[in-house]
Amino acid sequence: MPKVVNTKRLTISFPASLESELSEILSELKINRSEFFKRVFDNYLINYRKQKLANIAELMKDEYNNTDLTDLISLDGEDFQ
């Protein structure tokens, strides 16, 4: 993985009960905590953006079923000058 040039130090808190599980995961993946949380955050952002788009699409579905959008379909392919 390429080294990140611009970084920002953040402090996070999470339950101590997760520390042993986190340590096991870090050991299995052979990565440090920073890399782990970077991956977690990247994955979260991907899923968040997908869900956000899905929500927007859901709000717009009635517009796509609107026959007004297809009224001019008979003109498709004609050259206009």
Classify 23 as helix, strand or coil: helix
Residues 6+ apart with CB under 8 A from 33: 22, 26
pTM of the entire predicted model: 0.63
Task: Per residue of the chain (81 residues), give pLDDT as tens.
Answer: 666 678 888 898 989 999 999 999 999 999 999 999 999 999 999 999 999 999 998 888 877 776 666 666 666 665 655
Give me the pLDDT at residue 25, please.
Answer: 96
